[in-house]
Each structure stands twice: as structure tokens, then as C-alpha cells.
A and B are shown apart, each in its own frame.
Chain A
Amino acid sequence: MAEPELLLDSNIRLWVVLPIVFITFLVGVIRHYVSILLQSDKKLTLEQVSDSQVLIRSRILRENGKYIPKQSFLMRKFYFNNQEDGFFKNTKRKVVPPSPMTDPSMLTDMMKGNVTNVLPMILIGGWINWTFSGFVTTKVPFPLTLRFKPMLQQGIELLSLDASWVSSASWYFLNVFGLRSMYSLILGQDNGADQSRIMQEQMSGAAMAMPADTNKAFKAEWEALELTDHQWALENIEEELMSRELDLDGMFSKELPMGIF
């Protein structure tokens, strides 16, 4: 290290570091239960369900078509892509882009999302910044450039302090993201306290807006299927199979259930 290590008062550890961890964790748990209470049922129409399954089937045809005979593959490809009456060519769905203004349920969803996630984070971040300000909380174990100083050292007015020494606000944000794995351990996989997952969903939400994109999805599938060729995986199966003896190990052990036939 370029400079002597700073020795922090152990009171900082007791009265700042640990309380922030507890606060973050408890707020996360509360957020999880609040999100469960505020959950709204997403009703899917029959057409949406049907369309998503058709797209899956077409994708499976492209990926695993090599396991069925050539004739069958061509038959299905024809059904989907035929010029006159192929499914992808002909089916046009009524497209209603779900903008927040026209669709009231989307509006309330967005509001709920904001209230449960962004608002608490801002509020508590600000409160922690105000309460635990004016001192160095902890040190990140890797060196940082000076550009991070104003961001990470909110209340500390020292120009020469290494950027690795951070304030309590940054410790709070570190906790918010770091406690994710703790949440999945305690609350189960799809918990509402998972901040980063929610942010990811918001970013990819545009890509996943299925109702608006059904026609585009169909067109994309049509193109992909046109390009697919049938390479029968069973072309030389006998030679491959008979190149060696069958592995009959463990076939007749007493514990084996009568499931071979």
C-alpha cells in the first residue's frame, strides 16, 4: 500500500457496519412480504397461451427436427411456412401495444414496482447517509481511482484520502446487492426482495412484451424455419451402434426394478 493503514475505531464496526447490515436485511424481508401482498393476478388469454406454445413447438422443430424422419420434418415445415396457408404466413394477431397510458393494469404494476423497490432504496439510502455521516466506514479490498471519490465518500471532506475508504452510504448499497444470495437462501428462489433481478426484468421487460410482438415473433420464426435444413441424426445409426458391444452392466442386479421391458 502506498500509505500507512488507517486504524478505525472499533465502535464503528459495532454501531455502524452491523446495524446497516441488519437494516438492509430486514428492509429486504419486509419488501418481500409487501410485494406478495400487493401481487396482482396476471390473466392470460387463451390466444396468448396458444401462441406462446406454437412458438415453442416451432423452435423445437428447428432444434430437434433431426430426430424425426425427413418426410415428417418437411410436413411440419410445410404446415408452418407454406406460401398460401402456412400458419406463420397467415395468422395475424390484433396488436395492441400496451403503453402505460392506455392499459390501466400496467400502470398500477409500474407504480407498485416503484413503490416497493425504488422508493425504499432512495429513502433509506438518504436516511443512512444523513445519520451515519462524517466518518469513514470501511475499506473496499481493491484499489479505486480518484473518480470514485465523490460517489463513494459522500460525507467525508478529505482530499487526500484513498478512494478505497468509503462512507456508510456505499456500504449500504454494497449490502443491498450483496444480500441477494442470503434472500434466496431464506426466502426461496423467486423472492420479492431481489433488487437486481427486478431491475433486470424492467430492462428486459421491453423485449418480453409478448402481446405487441406476436406478429414480429411469428415473422422471425418463419424466417428461422425457412433456413433450417434436415440433417437426419439417424443416418448411420446402425454402424455407430454396432461398432461396439452393448454395455449390459448392472442389467440383472437384484435391486433393479422391473422397468427394462
Chain B
Amino acid sequence: MSFLYCLNPEKHKLRKWREDNHRNSEQIVDVGEELINEHASKLGDDIWIIYEQVMIAALDCSRDDLAWTCLQELKRQFPGSQRVKRLAGMRLEALEKYEDANKQYDSILQDDPTNTAARKRKISILKAQGKSAEAIRELNEYLEQFVGDQEAWHELSELYINEHDYGKAAFCLEELMMTNPHNHLYCEQYAEVKYTQGGLENLELSRKYFAQALKLNNRNMRALFGLYMSASHIAASPKVNATVKKANVKYATWATNQINRAYQLAGRGTKENKCSVKAVEEMLESITMS
């Protein structure tokens, strides 16, 4: 990190998007294209990383011309670079030339077996071709080597959810929850997976994790609704004893009150809001808890 004098507000915007990992590709293409065409000389050494950022955004927006220009410039400046090879592979992927892209990534892996980026691109090729079973298998092998890659764990959980293999998806989400204990979104996703799995034990777990997500972020409405749903399902189940039922009814009532409060706050009693408040109340009352 050295001093970066942001002479250009556009450059500053691009840097912020790059650091925050935003995927607003159309904006990046607009801003970046202008920067590259008009102000290339003023950017100095930053231009290379901007080329990379704009190229990926251009691939997202199907701007093959712009992507090709960026790639050429990068190839000229960094002839033997693996990072540039990966970008070339991504362009081939965008053109659906999967065979060539695979060859490109294999050559990177021959030089450097520890290169994670190339391996992950190969897996996403499988995903793009719809071969989810193979993608899952490859991703599992990848994760055996690189257990710490959180992005990969998240991707694997998504693949499992698509295959309706909720048990394994829950395992992946547990890894993510352990490495990011304060992230309420992982807790909420985990709770949703457990809720979908069903069964009394899983419902209890899901209720607990919805509560955890709420504790980490009081404003997570989805978790609040999830808490209400899981609590009322447990209360409505015939297999529970009276104390458990009473406790869950209490939880569900509390959740109802909070939901009502939130809807009251939204819009502060404007006309449109009154309808939605009424709708929520009716919905809550309609799920009977005997």
C-alpha cells in the first residue's frame, strides 16, 4: 500500500468497487471504458489493475470488443503471467469455447499446481455446462486440498441445495458459520436449510439459528419470519409435550409482536402501509396455534 493520490473521482470509485468486491458490471464498464479511452496516460501503473477489473465486467456485459482490447494490453505488458492466462481463459469461457478454456487452465496448473484460481474456473466451467454432479465431485476434491477456501464452501452449499441434498449443504454452511461466527446471513441460511429438511429436531435447530441470526442483526426480517414459522410449526406438531408447546407458542407470539412493530414502523402509517400491516396481521392470525 502506498500513497494513492486520487486525482480522479472515477478512479476512486473503481478502486472502491474493486475493494468491496461489487459486481456492478454495467457501471464498471461505463466508468472504466471512459477512463481507459480518455485518461490512459494519467493513470500510470494503476491502469493494469483497471484493465483487469474492466475486462471482467465487460465479459459480464457481453462486451467482447472491450474485453479483447483489455486482454491485448495486459498480454503485451505481462507476457508470461498466469493471472493474464486466467483472464484469457475467462474470455474463452464467455465465448462458450469450453474445450479451449480447459486447455488454458490445464497449462496454468502444469506450471503451478497450487494455483487455486485456475482450479475454480474449471469447476465453474462444469457448472456452466450443467454437469452439476461432476462439479460437485471436483469441488469436493478441491476442498480436500484447500480446506480454508470459504468461497468454495459457499459455492458447494449452493450446489448441494440445488440438488436437494440438504444434509451436505448444512455441513458446508457449518464450516462457514465457524469461520465467520458473526455473520448473520450464514446463520439464517443454515436455519433455512434445517427448516427445509424438516423433522422435529431440525425444526428446533432452525428456530435456534434464526434466533441467533436475529441476535446478530436485529433487523433481519427474514430471520424474524423464520423464527415465527419454525416456532409455530413446532407448536402445531402433535408429537411435542405441553411444556415445549407452551414455550414455542410464547416464541411465536413474541415474533408476531416484533413483526407487527416492524410493519408499523415502515411508512409510519401511510395509506399503502396500512394495507400491508393489515395483510400481515391477517396472515399471522390465519396460522392457527391451538
Contact = CB atoms under 8 A, between A and B. Distances in A.
Interface of A: 44-46, 49-50, 53-54, 56-57, 60-61, 64-65, 67-69, 72, 187-189, 233-234, 237-238, 240-242, 245-248, 251-252, 260-261
18 contacts: A46-B145, A50-B146, A56-B147, A56-B148, A61-B178, A64-B178, A69-B174, A69-B205, A234-B211, A234-B212, A237-B215, A242-B251, A245-B258, A246-B218, A251-B262, A252-B265, A252-B267, A260-B222
Contacts of A234: 208-209, 211-212
B208 A237 contact: yes
A22 to B, nearest CB: 21
B219 A248 contact: yes
A248 B265 contact: yes
Contacts of A45: 114
Contacts of A233: 212
Contacts of B219: 246-248, 251, 260
Contacts of A246: 214, 218-219, 224, 258, 261-262
B82 to A, nearest CB: 13
Contact of A53 (B148, B218, B221, B224): B148
B241 to A, nearest CB: 17
A238 B177 contact: no
B220 to A, nearest CB: 7
A242 B265 contact: no
A56 B267 CA distance: 47
B148 A238 contact: no
A193 to B, nearest CB: 14
Interface string B72-112: 00000000000000000000000000000000000000000
Interface string B1-29: 11000000000000000000000000000
Given A246-B219, A251-B262, A252-B265, 13 more contacts: A46-B113, A56-B148, A64-B177, A68-B177, A72-B171, A234-B212, A238-B211, A241-B215, A246-B218, A248-B218, A251-B219, A260-B220, A260-B221
A50 B171 contact: no
Contact of B174 (A68, A188, A238, A252): A68
B247 to A, nearest CB: 8
Contact of B178 (A49, A50, A65, A248): A65
A241 B265 contact: no
Contacts of B209: 234
A238 B171 CA distance: 23
- B interface secondary structure, majority: helix
A57 B148 contact: yes
Interface string B199-234: 000000101110110110011111010000000000
Contacts, number: 94
A245 B251 CA distance: 13
Nearest to B215: A241
B269 interface: no
Interface string B145-184: 1111100000000000000000000010011011101000
Given A234-B209, A248-B261, A67 B177 contact: yes
Nearest to B146: A53
A241 B214 contact: yes
Nearest to B190: A68
A69 B206 CA distance: 11
Contacts of B220: 260
A54 B147 contact: yes
Contacts of A65: 178
A44 B114 contact: yes
B152 to A, nearest CB: 11
A50 B116 CA distance: 11
A261 B258 contact: no
B245 to A, nearest CB: 14
B48 to A, nearest CB: 18
Among A64, A189, A252, find the residue whose CB has the most chain B CB atoms closer than 10 A: A252
B244 interface: no
A188 B211 contact: no
